[in-house]
Amino acid sequence: MSQLEIKDLHVSIEDKEILKGLTLTIKQGEVHAIMGPNGTGKSTLAYTLMGHPNYTVTGGEVLLDGENVLDMEPDERSRAGIFLAFQYPVAIPGVTVANFLRSAINSRRRAGNPEDKGMPIPEFRKILKEKMDALKMDHAFAGRYLNDGFSGGEKKRAEILQMATLKPRFAILDETDSGLDIDALRIVSEGVNALSGPELGVLVITHYQRLLNYIKPQFVHVMMGGRIVESGGPDLALHLEEQGYDWLREKEMTSE
Ligand SMILES: Nc1ncnc2c1ncn2[C@@H]1O[C@H](COP(=O)(O)OP(=O)(O)O)[C@@H](O)[C@H]1O
Ligand SMILES: [Mg+2]
């Protein structure tokens, strides 16, 4: 069984320390949620895990089955089985959802074997159809231009379909409060629920307690001031809904 270990991670953006010693282990098959107020560094964690160049790791480690993830390029991380849902997906007019997914699969195959001729189209079509059926998506969706005029919900649908076809071992979903309508929320949740199982570890990052009414994480963590200040089970999310974050602020202060 695989595990993704984040150990005492420190990350800065433009010399300002944002993550101040974050520790978290996710095993394959587990669903974790990180919640926390705006500006605490939740997205910083997601981008750092994916290797975004603006985020400088100044301490700690991230290991995938003992292998140093921080030394890998973003595409190597993806090939190693880490998936990060794009927070702000770009529109690619002229490229259909199907073309995009096929080239993602093929570039991964080619990275493993430069001689690879790519996945035969009939095989790709079959996989795509199976995934779309599993996610209850209309097949016409695959023929649309990626993100071109997509609603918030359709962008999420493309993202979840990408996750289904790439079959990561760990998926990190950063859900911002802005632009996440109820439809999008439902699509992400149903997608995660449909894809989760013993092969997949999920980290859902959200500011939105409501998301956790749909996705049922086994582990809930609260992040404040760049570190995890509280961890618990699903009842922690309910407690936060009732009490807000104030009761935890003291904890954050004393851990400075
Ligand atoms: N590109 C950037 N340049 C400078 N500061 C940034 C940048 N991106 C984020 N920050 C700062 O980093 C902190 C954490 O941001 P972020 O990780 O987006 O938090 P969250 O996702 O929890 O709302 C905030 O104080 C934010 O202002
Ligand atoms: Mg964020």
Per domain, the residue ranges of the chain are 3-254
CA 32 to chain centre: 11
Q: Is 51 exposed, middle or buried (0-12, 13-18, 19+ CB in 10 A)?
A: buried
- pTM over 0.75, yes/no: yes
| Homologous superfamily assigned to 3-254 | P-loop containing nucleotide triphosphate hydrolases (3.40.50.300)
What lines the ligand 1 site, CB under 6 Å? 13-14, 18, 36, 38-44, 54
Q: How does pLDDT run across 176-196, given as a tens digit for each residue?
A: 655 567 777 888 888 889 998
Beta bridge partners of 62: 6
The pLDDT of residue 112: 82
**Which ligand gives the minimal distance to the CA of 173?**
2
Ligand 1 centre and the CA of 19: distance in Å?
10
Kindly give the parts of the chain with pLDDT less than 50: 87
The pLDDT of residue 216: 85
Q: Is the CB of residue 243 less than 8 Å from the CB of residue 209? A: no
Ligand 1 centre and the CA of 196: distance in Å?
29
- Strand 3-13 versus strand 16-27 pairing type: antiparallel
Gyration radius from the chain CA atoms: 18
Q: Is the CB of residue 64 less than 8 Å from the CB of residue 2? A: yes
From CA 54, how far away is CA 140, in angstroms rounded?
Answer: 37
Q: Is the CB of residue 118 less than 8 Å from the CB of residue 106? A: yes
From CA 255, how far away is CA 249, in angstroms rounded?
Answer: 10
Q: Which amino acid residue places its CA nearest to atom 3 of ligand 1?
A: 13
